[in-house]
Amino acid sequence: MKKIIEFWFDFSSPYSYIAGEHIESLAAKNDAGVDWQPMLLGAIFKASGSAPLTLRYPPLAEYAKHDFLRSARFCNVPYNPPDPFPVMSQNTARAALWIKTNQPEKMGAFCRAGMRGLFVHNAVINDIAWIENAANTCGAAGKAAAAACNDPLIKDALKQQCDTALAKGIFGGPWMIVEGEAFWGNDRLPQLDAWLAKGSF
């Protein structure tokens, strides 16, 4: 049976964006699939007593901002630092959950479009009109996906999604799980790749 990479990410996480640009090709070359799992790192950080990198100890925040750009260059991914940052992205995550349920074949494209929207085009990706347009561009039902942002059931599903992440021991993003093995961070893609290629190591 095909192995599945659970890819837990936040639309406003720089390292999630960088990893998200490569996760499909990494999966494909190892004959694996990707299960896109949006979460809100704000909720994860609150529960785990942490904070966004750019709001921590000032030298760490400075290093992180520099490393986002350098890591993007190293990984051959375009990156334009959004300002303001961090930003809200709960609507984007809700629309993604709707697409995942109703048009799963469009999920990867929408997730990548959301992160590119923020980290390449500096768009306000939490904006309902932006979401509708982005979903349409991905071939999804933009109006319905955008409407999901205000659907109490979808709001609940996103909360549930964050609780599930916490229950799995997730404390940051991107977070990849294959056959129960967890890999945290864009910089663990080489280990994930080796794990898929060898079965384990």
Contact residues for a second copy (CB under 8 A)? 48-50, 57, 59-60, 62-63, 66-67, 70-71, 73-74, 169-171, 182, 184-185, 187-188, 190-191, 194, 201
Minimum separation from the CB atom of position 30 to a second copy (A)? 16
Residue closer to a second copy, measured from CB, 12 or 71: 71
Q: How far is the CB of 199 from a second copy (least distance, A)?
A: 13
Segment holding 76, helix H or strand E: none
Smaller CB separation from a second copy, 156 or 181:
181
Q: Give CA separation, 109 vs 13, 103, 145, in Å.
A: 17, 11, 14
DSSP-derived secondary structure letter, 34? E
The structure tokens listed for 53 are 């990198």
Nearest residue (CB) to a second copy, 21 versus 132: 21
**Site of tokens 């004959």:** 31
Mapping DSSP to helix (H, G, I), strand (E, B) and coil, where does residue 5 land? strand
What is the smallest separation between the CB atom of 147 and a second copy, expressed in angstroms? 35
Least distance in angstroms from the C-beta of 80 to a second copy: 18
Distance, in Å, from the CA atom of 125 to the CA atom of 134, rounded to the nearest integer, reads 9
